[in-house]
C-alpha cells in the first residue's frame, strides 16, 4: 500500500512511517495542488495524510475508490464528508488532545491583546504615533472577576477556562450539546442556554467543532445580544462568524472588540477592513503552531496511518462506526 502526504509534516511523524517500512510520497513543492492534481494523486494511493483545507466531499470519494484510510493533520474534521467515508468503510483519523493547550494559549493571548488594544498600540509605535502621555488615551479593560463564556466546552475550551480562572479569577459559563461534568466540578463552570451565553459573557470564546448548522451563527443578531463591553474570540473555524456583521458590531460599539485566529474566508485578504480596527486583533491561524504540538500531531497522524497498514483500528478515529 502507498501513502500520499500532500504537504510536508514534522520529522517525528516521518520517522515513524519509515520505521514501519511504509511507502509514502510527499508533495515535493510548497505549492497548493489544484483539485484535479490532488484527486489524480489520491487515485494512485491507498491512504491520504491530508494537511490543510482540501475538501473531501462525496465527489472526492467517488473519484478515489481505492482509498482505505484518511489521516487528518488537524483535530477538526469538518472538511470531510463523514457519511461518504462511512458508506465506503473508510476510517478517518484526526489529532485530538495534543494541540489543546497550544490553541487555548492563542485564545488566551488574543483575549488579553483585545482587552488592552495591544496590536493597535504596537502599530502606533511603528507609525511614529507614540506621542506624549495622555491619561485618557489607549485605555483598555481589565479581566479580573469577569465572566468567560465558552461555546463548545471540550478539551480546548477546558484549557482556556482553566487559564482564565487561574489568571483572572474569571467565572465560567458555557453552552454545549451536553453537560461537561468535569468542568462543572473542577472549574465551577455553569451550563447555560445560548441566549444566556450571549447576554452574560464578558468574553465569549468559540471552541466547538464546526458544522453546517452553525454556519455564521455569530452574526448581527447574535452580536446585538452581547454586552457592549464584551470581547468575541474565535480560534475554532472562521465560518462560525459573519465578518461583515462583525465589522459593523465593532465599529458601532455593539461589542468591545474581537480576537481572531481564524477568518471567513481564509486566508484573509490584506485589505480586509477588520485589520485596520483598533479593537480587533487577528492572527494567521497559528493555534497549533508550536514545536511540541505540531510534532505530536505528526505522531498521531502517523499512528493512524500505521493502523490502516496493520489492519487495526485507528487510535484516533472520528468515525469508529466503520469498524462495526
CA-to-CA separations, 292 to 83, 296, 297, 317, in angstroms, rounded: 33, 6, 9, 22
| Count, residues in the chain | 324
Provide the CA 229 distance to its chain's centre, in angstroms. Answer: 25
User: Which among 30, 81, 36 is positioned nearest to 51, based on CA atoms?
Assistant: 30
Neighbours of 187 (CB within 10 A): 22
User: Catalytic site residue 179?
Assistant: no
Q: Which of 116, 207, 285, 294 is catalytic?
A: 285
Q: Are 204 and 233 in contact (CB under 8 A)?
A: yes
Q: Among 101, 175, 207, 237, which one carries the catalytic annotation?
A: 237
Q: Is 116 a catalytic residue?
A: no
DSSP helix/strand/coil, 24: strand
Q: Are 271 and 283 in contact (CB under 8 A)?
A: no
266 is catalytic: yes
Cell numbers for 255, please give them: 461589542
Give the chain's largest Cα–Cα span.
Answer: 69
Residues contacting 153, CB < 8 A, separation 6+: 161, 174, 175, 176, 180, 183, 189, 207
Out of 11, 19, 195, 266, pick the active-site residue: 266
- Catalytic (active-site) positions: 237, 266, 285
Amino acid at each position: 500500500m502507498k501513502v500520499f502526504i500532500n504537504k510536508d509534516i514534522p520529522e517525528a511523524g516521518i520517522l515513524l512511517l519509515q520505521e514501519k517500512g511504509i511507502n509514502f510520497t510527499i508533495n515535493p513543492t510548497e505549492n497548493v495542488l489544484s483539485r484535479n492534481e490532488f484527486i489524480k494523486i489520491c487515485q494512485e494511493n491507498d491512504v491520504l495524510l491530508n494537511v490543510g483545507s482540501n475538501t473531501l466531499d462525496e465527489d472526492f470519494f467517488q473519484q478515489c475508490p481505492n482509498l482505505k484510510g484518511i489521516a487528518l493533520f488537524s483535530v477538526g474534521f469538518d472538511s470531510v464528508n463523514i457519511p461518504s467515508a462511512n458508506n465506503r468503510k473508510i476510517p478517518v483519523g484526526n489529532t485530538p488532545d495534543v494541540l489543546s493547550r497550544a490553541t487555548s494559549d492563542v485564545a488566551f493571548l488574543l483575549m488579553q491583546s483585545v482587552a488592552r488594544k495591544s496590536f493597535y498600540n504596537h502599530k502606533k509605535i511603528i507609525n511614529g504615533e507614540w506621542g506624549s502621555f495622555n491619561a485618557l488615551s489607549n485605555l483598555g479593560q481589565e479581566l479580573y472577576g469577569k465572566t468567560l463564556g465558552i461555546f463548545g466546552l471540550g478539551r480546548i475550551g477546558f484549557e482556556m477556562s482553566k487559564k482564565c480562572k487561574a489568571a483572572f479569577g474569571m467565572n465560567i459559563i458555557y453552552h454545549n450539546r451536553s453537560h461537561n461534568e468535569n468542568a462543572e466540578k473542577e472549574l465551577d463552570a455553569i451550563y447555560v442556554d445560548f441566549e444566556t451565553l450571549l447576554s452574560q459573557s464578558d468574553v465569549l470564546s468559540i471552541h466547538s467543532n464546526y458544522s453546517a448548522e452553525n454556519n455564521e451563527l455569530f452574526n448581527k443578531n447574535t452580536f446585538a445580544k452581547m454586552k457592549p463591553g464584551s470581547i468575541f474570540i474565535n480560534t475554532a473555524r472562521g465560518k462560525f462568524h459573519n465578518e461583515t456583521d462583525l465589522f459593523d458590531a465593532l465599529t458601532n460599539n455593539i461589542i468591545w472588540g474581537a480576537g481572531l485566529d481564524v477568518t471567513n474566508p481564509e486566508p484573509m485578504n490584506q485589505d480586509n477592513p477588520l485589520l485596520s480596527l483598533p479593537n480587533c486583533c487577528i492572527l494567521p491561524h497559528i493555534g497549533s503552531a508550536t514545536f511540541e504540538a505540531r510534532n505530536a500531531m505528526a505522531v498521531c497522524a502517523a499512528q493512524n496511518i500505521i493502523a490502516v497498514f496493520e489492519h487495526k483500528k485507528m487510535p484516533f478515529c472520528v468515525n469508529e462506526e466503520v469498524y462495526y
